[in-house]
Amino acid sequence: MGTATDYVLEELRLFRAGFGLSQDDFGRGIGYSGSHVSSVETGCRPPTKEYMRAVDAHHETNGRFQRMLERLAQLDAEPAWLREWIEFEREATTLRWFELAYVPGLLQTDRYARATLAGGRFDVEDIDRIVASRLERQSILQRPRPPQLIAVLDEAVLRRPVLDQPGLMAEQCEHLAQLATAEHIQVHIVPADAGMYLGMGGQFIIAEMPDGERVAYADNQLTAQIVDASADIAKLAKTWEVVRNEALPRRQSIELIKEVAKSWTC
């Protein structure tokens, strides 16, 4: 992590030490485990808004650590929520990813990634930067010890056309089918005949960290939220199980993806 982040982590350590509290005792006070506190203080996982809010609330700091986190975001080129999530993504041992609208970013082609940013919201320079960052993040799937990626997609993701870009969806579906054959990548499709199901509420990702703890990500049109409160994680985990059970098995999913890819060439 950078110098500014190191400063914030040092302030957190000194703050805890000032009360004479162990990491376990400090964690109990703010609703986190001692191992979670240790991971934050050593830089193994970034402090989230929820974590800082819990510290401020329990110790009545008048928002001191939340302001530090906001200041970090101003110093970083990426939005705070994305910077936080990228750190978790890099360290995760397992990623459980549900998508209702798009192919997951880690599985996108360059052309598809650009299409998701079209519509006037971003200028050309921003699109180039965002796409480059997104594609660079995909390198975690090629490293010697990659995370296990389990992606569940709604069938509508495969069948949604990208206007005025012939061949794009065929290319993306073929790329997805190829990646899905890797041992560490599972792709499952929720078929259209599943009808209404719990996943319609929106996309989310659950990352399992090396220490066994979990953190989640959910976004909307304006921003994204990093979730690490145990009760909220438990709710998302239950939603994941329901959504996963609606999806086709791995082999049938790959066949469906290939079938849709062929339909885009007709």
pLDDT of residue 74: 54
pLDDT of residue 252: 98
CA dist list (Å): 73 to 45, 59, 63, 68, 196: 16, 23, 16, 9, 38
What is d(CA 89, CA 184) in angstroms, rounded to the nearest whole number? Answer: 15
The pLDDT of 143-170, averaged and rounded, is 95
Q: What is the pTM of this model?
A: 0.72
Q: Which two tokens stand for residue 207?
A: 């990352």
Q: What strands lie across the sheet with 224-227, from one edge to the other?
A: 185-190, 148-154, 94-99, 204-208, 214-219, 224-227
Helix H or strand E encompassing 140: none
pLDDT class for 219, splitting at 50, 70, 90? Answer: confident
What is d(CA 47, CA 32) in angstroms, rounded to the nearest whole number? Answer: 12
What is d(CA 178, CA 257) in angstroms, rounded to the nearest whole number? Answer: 10
Beta bridge partners of 205: 97, 217
22-52 pLDDT, tens digit each: 999 999 999 999 999 998 898 878 788 889 9
The pLDDT of 187-211, averaged and rounded, is 94
What is d(CA 206, CA 204) in angstroms, rounded to the nearest whole number? Answer: 7
100-126 pLDDT, tens digit each: 999 999 999 999 999 998 877 777 877
Tokens 């579906």 correspond to: 173
CA dist list (Å): 203 to 198, 199, 218, 261: 11, 7, 6, 23
63-102 pLDDT, tens digit each: 999 888 877 665 554 556 677 788 899 999 999 999 999 9
